[in-house]
Amino acid sequence: MNLNEMAVFASVVEHESFTAAAKALGISKSAVSKQVSRLEDRLRIRLLNRTTRRLSLTEAGNLFFEKCQAVMDVAEQAEYAVSRLSSTPRGLLKINAPMSFGIKCMAPMLADFRTQFPEIEIDLVLNDQMVDLIEDGFDVGIRIGRLMDSRLIAKKISDCGMSIIAAPSYFAKGHTSVIPAELSGYNFLHYSNLNRVSGLKLIGENGTVTVPLTSDLSANNGDFILSAVQEGIGFACMPDFICHDAIKENRVVKILPDWNVDTDNAIYVVYPINRNLPPKARVFIDFIADYYGE
C-alpha cells in the first residue's frame, strides 16, 4: 500500500477539490489526479464520482476514506511521539557495564540521574563479557581499559587507579619489605577478560621496571579475583574501585605502595559511531562524565 496515495486521496476528499488539495499539498493538480487514478487502478474500484461541478464519494470511496483517516491519525501520532523523543530526554535507555563496576559504583549515580531525568527509564545489563553494543541494541556502554572496537565513540570519564594487593599473610616477609623483583616468585591472579600479560610494568622514583609474572588461576570477574586474593591464593593488580574497601578494612594489603602501575586503564562511556544520539543518551553521557569526572 502506497501511504502517499492514501494521503493525497484523503486531502482531495477533505478539500472537495483536486485544485485545493494540490495547493494544500504543494504539488500540481495533475500529480494529484494521477495519484488518485493509480490508487483506484490498484484497488480496481472507483472511489470518486467526478463531474465538472463537484466531487462525491462512491460507497467504496466512503469506506476507504474512513480507513485513510484512521491511518493518517496514527501516522500523525507517531510523528508527534518521535518529535517529542528527539527534543526531550525520555524513553528507555539501555546501558551495558562491567559487573563489578555496576554493582559497586553505578547505583548512587543512577539514583541522581533518575532524580534529574524522571522520564527516562533505565535498563542496565551487567556483563563481564565484551558485549557488542550495536548488535545487542545498547544505547551506551561503560568500558574500562584499552578500547578495541573502532565502531564506538569513546568519552573518557575518569582515570582508573590500580593497586597491587595480597592477603596480609601472603608474603612471608610482610608486605612492606617486598620489592618488585620478588613478585615474579609468587602466583599472579589474572583477570581473563583482559589480554594476558607476561609482565607487570611498575614506575618508581628511579625509573621503570618490568616484573615477569606466573599465573595458575584466572577468572572473568573482578570480585572473584578479590575473594581469591583474600583466601591467599595469590596476588593481583586490581582497579581501586573494586579493592578500595577491602584495603580500608585490612582484608587485603596494598603491595609496593611507593610504586605506580604503568597502565593506560581508564573508564569510558562509549556509544555506536555514525548514530544520531537521542536526547536520553546525550544527557546520560554528559551526566556520567560530570559525575565520575569529579
pLDDT for the residue 89: 86
What is the spatial distance between Cα 245 and Cα 54, in angstroms, rounded to a whole number?
83
What is the spatial distance between Cα 39 and Cα 41, in angstroms, rounded to a whole number?
5
For the chain, give the longest Cα–Cα distance.
107
Q: Which amino acid is at 224?
A: F
pLDDT for the residue 110: 96
pLDDT for the residue 28: 92
Task: Give the model confidence (pLDDT) of 21-56 as tens digits.
Answer: 898 888 999 999 999 999 999 999 999 998 877 888
pLDDT for the residue 193: 66
What is the spatial distance between Cα 44 and Cα 67, in angstroms, rounded to a whole number?
17
**What value does the CA radius of gyration of the chain take, rounded to a whole number of Å?**
32
- Beta bridge partners of residue 214, listed in sequence order: 187
pLDDT for the residue 118: 93
Residues of the chain with pLDDT under 50: 175
CB 131 within 8 A of CB 272: no
Helix (H) or strand (E) holding 13: helix 3-15
The CA-atom distances, in angstroms, between 13 and each of 40, 71, 79, 96, 150 are: 14, 15, 23, 51, 53
pLDDT for the residue 152: 79
Which 3-state string (H, E, C) describes 227-290? HHHHCCCCEEEEEHHHHHHHHHCCCCEEECCCCEECCCCEEEEEEECCCCCCHHHHHHHHHHHH
Task: Compute the Cα dihedral for 163, 164, 169, 173 and give only its sign.
Answer: negative
